[in-house]
Amino acid sequence: MSALHVRVQVADEHYALPVADVLEVAEVGELTQVPGTGTEVLGVRNLRGQVLPVVDLAAIFGLAAATRARMVIAESHGRRAGLAVDAVAGVEELGDATEETGSRHLLGATLADGALVGVVDVGSVLDAVAEATAA
């Protein structure tokens, strides 16, 4: 069984987020720093009257610094955040994530167009955001 995902690039890696968890894609824009948060939280941004934490997906996955040109606004269980990525490749159907990964923030991985694509567990990433912003 396959489902629609938003494909993104972070550093030189490929990831996908379930469309059901994605509200929109936007520019990262101007961020306000939040003292006391971890390095994975880049800051907060006012997006049409709503203040959102913006998270560096590269830092979540332990990757080298990214360009962070775009952000995917994701929501799970009433929590919302902007996930900063290098690029958004598009929306496509992906097969099941059958490959195991070592990250608690991934549901698994699948092959797409000859590349290994990690399927992001949006709920887990937003849990990490909540922990970082509560500090």
Mean pLDDT score of the chain, rounded to an integer?
Answer: 89
* Residue 113, number of CB atoms within 10 A of its CB: 9
pLDDT for 1 equals 42
What pLDDT is recorded for position 42?
92
pLDDT at 116: 92
> In CATH, what number is assigned to the domain containing residue 52?
2.40.50.180
Digit-coded pLDDT (tens) for 12-46: 899 999 999 999 999 999 999 988 888 889 999 99
Note down the domain range covering 100.
Answer: 3-134
The dihedrals phi and psi of 61, each to the nearest 5 degrees, come to: -95, 5
Q: What is the mean pLDDT of residues 108-119?
A: 91
pTM of the model: 0.90
Number of structural domains, the chain?
1
Say what the pLDDT of residue 10 is: 94
